[in-house]
Amino acid sequence: MQWMIYGANGYTGRLIALEAQRRGLAPVLAGRSADVAALAQQLGFSHRRFDLDDAAAVAAGLAGIGLVLHCAGPFSATSAPMLEGCLAAGAHYLDITGEIDVFAHCHAQDARARERGIVVLPGAGFDVVPTDCLAAQLKRELPTATHLVLAFEAGGGPSPGTAKTSVEGLGKGGRARIDGVLQRVPLAWKTRTFIRDGQARSAMTIPWGDVYTATVSTGIPNVEVYMGVPPATIARMRRLRLLGPLLGTSLVQGFLKRGVARSVRGPSDDKRAATVTHVWGEVSAPGGAQCQRHLVVPNGYTLTVTASLGIVEHLLGGGAAPGYRTPSQLMGADYILSLPGVSIAQDA
């Protein structure tokens, strides 16, 4: 099966392409920029260049392709046209998004994906492989769970794409799953602490993809996701509430994204190697029963590389039932534990 990394010239796409070469895989590299040709030449891969705003160009670009790992954000703009192209071509669709609305749109295409015989799996990287697998593990441990809390504390800093997605999220506020319904909540809606190395770490709720996917994976109707940040960051996010709808205007969004473009480059190889991510999960059931687990995983970008390529290799092997899938549904709850550098923390 021929397969493609689209957005291979971006920060994360390039990391995935480099690891694909190391593993002896042979993806077609593609993207919107001419830079993809130079990377393909460097790695000895073939390449294609096409934009996603032209359906005919997408169709031509996906000719003969059986699987796409889509890495070109912002996924709020790029996921739908690429997914349509994959449905038309009969190609499996994977991406590395963490955007709630993208998960919802992909899920809505489940019947079409089944008809076309393809797997549609958004969130094949750090968003949302570790948290989704952890949620499924905890549901397995406590089948009567009705409430799920997930949290992570990441080091190393964001890539340009992640930073721009975060800017977009400011204008939408927070999100949580409450009694089975996705609801909008204020920025930094709730706060709490999680224990790392014997120390309490402050955290605030964020609109992470699991508020959509975790309920699909586990059936748990109440889901909150937290990110570990300093108290000063929590205070700053709460002050931003005063700006309300202004945060979503094109003027403010453009200003903030230009700032990202000037200053954010993504963590270096050394920074990724030197930083890890802590991931916590907690489920509770009526009557007070609880189950908790704490994972230590590599830097989020390093994990995205290994997690997404593991899913690619699984699909290249054939035999996967078509339709929309979350990572734990396709790969199993313990998939995260099979990836290099992942361990269960001793305080779990």
Exposed (0-12), middle (13-18) or buried (19+): which is 95, by Cβ within 10 Å?
A: buried
Q: Is residue 338 part of a domain?
A: no
Are 102 and 248 within one domain?
no
- The Cα 45–Cα 5 span in angstroms is 11
Are 180 and 235 within one domain?
yes
Give the pLDDT of residue 348: 45
- The Cα 336–Cα 340 span in angstroms is 9
Give the pLDDT of residue 253: 73
Question: 79 near 93, Cβ under 8 Å?
Answer: no
Q: Is residue 344 part of a domain?
A: no
Give the pLDDT of residue 189: 96
SS (H, E, C) the chain: CCEEEECCCCHHHHHHHHHHHHCCCCCEEEECCCHHHHHHHHHCCCEEECCCCCHHHHHHHCCCCCEEEECCCCHHHHHHHHHHHHHHHCCEEEECCCCHHHHHHHHHCHHHHHHHCCEEECCCECCEHHHHHHHHHHHHHCCCCCEEEEEEEECCCCCHHHHHHHHHHHCCCEEEEECCEEEEECCCCCEEEEEECCEEEEEEECCCCHHHHHHHHHCCCEEEEEEECCHHHHHHHHHHHHHHHHHHCHHHHHHHHHHHHHHCCCCCHHHHHHCEEEEEEEEECCCCCEEEEEEEEECHHHHHHHHHHHHHHHHHCCCCCCEECCHHHHHCCCHHHHCCCCEECCCC
Q: Is residue 235 part of a domain?
A: yes
Are 99 and 160 within one domain?
no
CATH number of the domain that residue 39 is part of: 3.40.50.720
Give the pLDDT of residue 160: 74
Are 249 and 162 within one domain?
yes
Are 102 and 197 within one domain?
no
Residue with tokens 């096409």: 50
The pLDDT profile of the chain, 348 residues, written as one tens digit per residue, is: 999 999 999 999 999 999 999 999 999 999 999 899 999 999 999 999 999 999 999 999 999 999 999 999 989 999 999 999 999 999 999 999 999 999 999 999 999 999 999 999 999 999 999 999 999 999 999 999 999 999 999 987 777 777 777 777 777 789 999 999 999 999 999 999 999 989 999 999 999 999 999 999 999 999 999 999 999 999 999 998 888 777 778 887 787 778 877 877 778 888 989 999 999 999 999 999 999 999 999 999 999 999 999 999 999 999 999 999 999 999 999 999 999 999 999 874
Count CB atoms within 10 A of the CB of residue 100.
Answer: 21
Q: Is residue 48 part of a domain?
A: yes
CATH number of the domain that residue 205 is part of: 3.30.360.10
Are 49 and 142 within one domain?
no
Taking alpha carbons only, the member of 65, 59, 60 closest to residue 29 is 65
Q: How many residues does the chain have?
A: 348
Q: Is residue 347 part of a domain?
A: no
Are 151 and 269 within one domain?
yes
Are 99 and 137 within one domain?
no
- The Cα 20–Cα 326 span in angstroms is 22
Are 202 and 285 within one domain?
yes
Give CB contacts under 8 A, 24+ apart, made by 249-253.
Answer: 249/171, 252/171, 253/167, 253/168, 253/171
Pairing of strands 191-196, 199-205: antiparallel
Q: How many domains, the chain?
A: 2
The last residue of a domain, from among 300, 323, 339: 300
- The Cα 80–Cα 105 span in angstroms is 8
- The Cα 66–Cα 2 span in angstroms is 6
Give the pLDDT of residue 2: 98
Domain extent at residue 277: 129-300
Q: Is residue 340 part of a domain?
A: no
Are 267 and 308 within one domain?
no
Are 292 and 326 within one domain?
no
Q: Is residue 345 part of a domain?
A: no
Give the pLDDT of residue 251: 80
Q: Is residue 348 part of a domain?
A: no
What are the distances in angstroms from CA 141 to CA 92, 224, 302?
31, 19, 28
Are 140 and 28 within one domain?
no
